Amino acid sequence: MAVLPLLFSACDAQPVKSQAKSAAVYTSKTPHPDGTGKVYLGREIAHGMSTSGGEWLERDTRQEEENVALAISKLQLQPNSVVADVGAGTGYYTFRIAPKVPQGKVYAVEVQEAFVKALEARKKELGLSNVTVVKGSAQSPNLPEVSVDLAIMVDVYHELEYPREMLQALHRALKPTGKLLLLEYRAEDPSVPIKALHKMSAAQANKELSANGFTLSRREDFLPIQHFLLYEKAKE
pLDDT block averages, 10 residues each, the chain of length 236: 32 43 84 97 93 83 96 97 97 98 98 96 97 98 98 98 98 98 98 97 98 97 97 92
What sign has the CA pseudo-torsion 167, 168, 169, 173?
A: positive
Strand 148-154 relative to strand 131-135: parallel, antiparallel, unpaired? Answer: unpaired
Cα–Cα dist 67/61, whole Å: 10
Of 108, 119, 114, 109, the closest CA to residue 52 belongs to: 114
Instruction: Please indicate, yes or no, whether the overall pTM of this predicted structure exceeds 0.95.
Output: no
Give the pLDDT of residue 23: 61
Cα–Cα dist 68/151, whole Å: 16
Cα–Cα dist 118/174, whole Å: 26
Give the pLDDT of residue 21: 56
Give the pLDDT of residue 9: 31
> What are the beta bridge partners of residue 106?
83, 131
122 CB burial (10 A radius; 0-12, 13-18, 19+) = middle
Cα–Cα dist 73/225, whole Å: 17
What torsion do the CA atoms of 10, 11, 13, 15 make, to the nearest 10 degrees? Answer: -90
The stretches of 80-201 forming alpha helices (DSSP H) are: 94-97, 113-126, 163-173
Of 45, 137, 152, 166, the closest CA to residue 92 belongs to: 152
What sign has the CA pseudo-torsion 27, 33, 35, 36?
A: positive
Cα–Cα dist 101/166, whole Å: 25
**How does DSSP classify residue 112?**
S
30 CB burial (10 A radius; 0-12, 13-18, 19+) = exposed
Give the pLDDT of residue 55: 83
Strand 105-110 relative to strand 35-40: parallel, antiparallel, unpaired? Answer: unpaired
C-beta of residue 148 within 8 angstroms of C-beta of residue 175: yes
If you classify domain 26-233 with CATH, what class do you get?
alpha beta
Cα–Cα dist 13/106, whole Å: 38
